[in-house]
Amino acid sequence: MANADIKVAIVYQAHPAPAVNGIIKPPKPGGYADSGADIAYALKIQQINVITPVPNPYVDKDTDWVFPDTEHGIAHAIEKGATCIWLNTVLYADHPIATFLNRGIQVVGQHPVLSGMYDDKWATAELLKDNDLPVPHAEQLHYEDFIAGVRKMHFPMVAKPIRGRGSEGVALIRNKQEYQSVLTAMFQTDRYGTTIYLEKYLPGEEVTITVMPPGTYTLQGRTVKKETPWCLPAVKRFNHHNGIAPYNGTVAVIHNSTVLNDKEEADLRIQQLYTQCATAGKLVGMRAPIRIDSRADENGNYFLFDLNMKPNMTGPSRLHRHDQDSLTALAARKIGWSYPELLVNMLGQHWGL
């Protein structure tokens, strides 16, 4: 099905994802309705047939552009004519979209089973490590072990939710006092569940790389077929807060991120990182863009420390959102794609069972 024939509806996260073995993924306020509306509006101005909940959506009212990712919400979109569902939401094995995939609907997004599996930082790090990809040393800390105080500590370290969302809840820990205070707060909020991810802190430069799935793309006016996962240009992160890149809901990425220049990109370590990230994309069975965050150690060697099955996809398509570029949109601009052109190319990789 060509893009010209598609009728696409964008869905957002209406409810928190279910806990998995006591581990919770905290929902984003608004459930990505904001980026979903950015996507819908941008596709519409590219002459894509976008199905919306209301006939004449207001440009600045997010929920006029997107459907909830419930069974009822998806069915409503299909009843209104949608032939493709854009999954701008958190996925898991028994997500409602699974029912509609089995009925032949097309989607833009990851396979729900694989997305749920690799949303788990521990499982993903183990997969990458088992396939000889560089990941920082890490451990899982269960609540009962924290209370018992039975582990040996090596500082500095980074504490993260196992099923996190961006840098929310991520904290640098430099000593025993911070260890106690940070982890006590993380466990007491009950926002992340009963297990926390502890990772060796890497002091070097941080870059993030968007990996695109195999498929057919329009690049500089030509149709190009990519047989394997491939990378958009790396984006460098700076202006960290206490050693951690701030959550993009707090600081817009345009204020702390920039695409590598040609000389920086030509560095052999960055080129090797592209190969490693593409391999990681293949390992997780990607069917839509993923984003991998990497950071260098004290010797300048990069490690893959975070693989995001659902990268943030905000964009400056609406006037009141002019500063809402995402890391992926920044990277896409270097290869000649505007935000709407990035989305049209993503739409071209729609799939179904």
More confident residue, 176 or 244: 176
More confident residue, 240 or 36: 36
* pLDDT score of 251: 62
pTM of the model: 0.95
pLDDT at 249 over 60: no
* pLDDT score of 277: 98
Over residues 300-320, the mean pLDDT reads 94
Model confidence over 257-291: pLDDT tens digits? Answer: 999 999 999 999 999 999 999 999 999 999 999 99
* pLDDT score of 268: 97
Model confidence over 132-159: pLDDT tens digits? Answer: 999 999 999 999 999 998 677 789 999 9
Residue position matching structure tokens 């028994």: 94
Q: Give phi and psi for 111, each to the nearest 5.
A: -70, 130
Distances (CA, A) of 92 to 13, 65, 348: 12, 23, 23
pLDDT band at 315 (very low <50, low <70, confident <90, very high): very high
pLDDT at 349 over 90: yes
pLDDT band at 322 (very low <50, low <70, confident <90, very high): confident
* pLDDT score of 119: 95
* pLDDT score of 234: 98
Among 21-30, 118-127, 218-227, the minimum mean pLDDT is found in 21-30
- Decide if 121 contacts 308 (C-beta within 8 A): no
Distances (CA, A) of 235 to 213, 266, 294, 298, 333: 18, 14, 10, 20, 11
Model confidence over 25-39: pLDDT tens digits? Answer: 988 999 999 999 999
Model confidence over 159-191: pLDDT tens digits? Answer: 999 998 878 889 999 999 999 999 999 999 888
Fold of 134-200: Dna Ligase; domain 1 (3.30.1490)
* pLDDT score of 247: 58
pLDDT band at 242 (very low <50, low <70, confident <90, very high): confident
Per domain, the residue ranges of the chain are: 3-118, 134-200, 206-336
pLDDT band at 78 (very low <50, low <70, confident <90, very high): very high
CATH number of this structure's domain 206-336: 3.30.470.20
Mean pLDDT of the chain: 93
> Mapped to the 3 state alphabet, what secondary structure does the chain carry?
CCHHHCEEEEEECCCCCCCECCECCCCCCCCCHHHHHHHHHHHHHCCCEECCCCCCCCCCCHHHCEEECCHHHHHHHHHCCCCEEEECCCCCCCCCHHHHHCCCCEEECCCHHHHHHHCCHHHHHHHHHHCCCCCCCEEEEEHHHHHHCCCCCCCCEEEEECCCCCCCCCEEECCHHHHHHHHHHHHHHCCCECEEEEEECCCCCEEEEEEECCEEEEECCEEEEECCCEECCCEEECCCECCECCCCCCCCHHHCEEECCHHHHCCHHHHHHHHHHHHHHHHCCCCCCEEEEEEECCCCCEEEEEEECCCCCCCCCCHHHCCCCCHHHHHHHHCCCCHHHHHHHHHCCCECC
What's 3-118's CATH class?
alpha beta
Q: Are 3-118 and 134-200 equal in CATH topology?
A: no
* pLDDT score of 194: 92
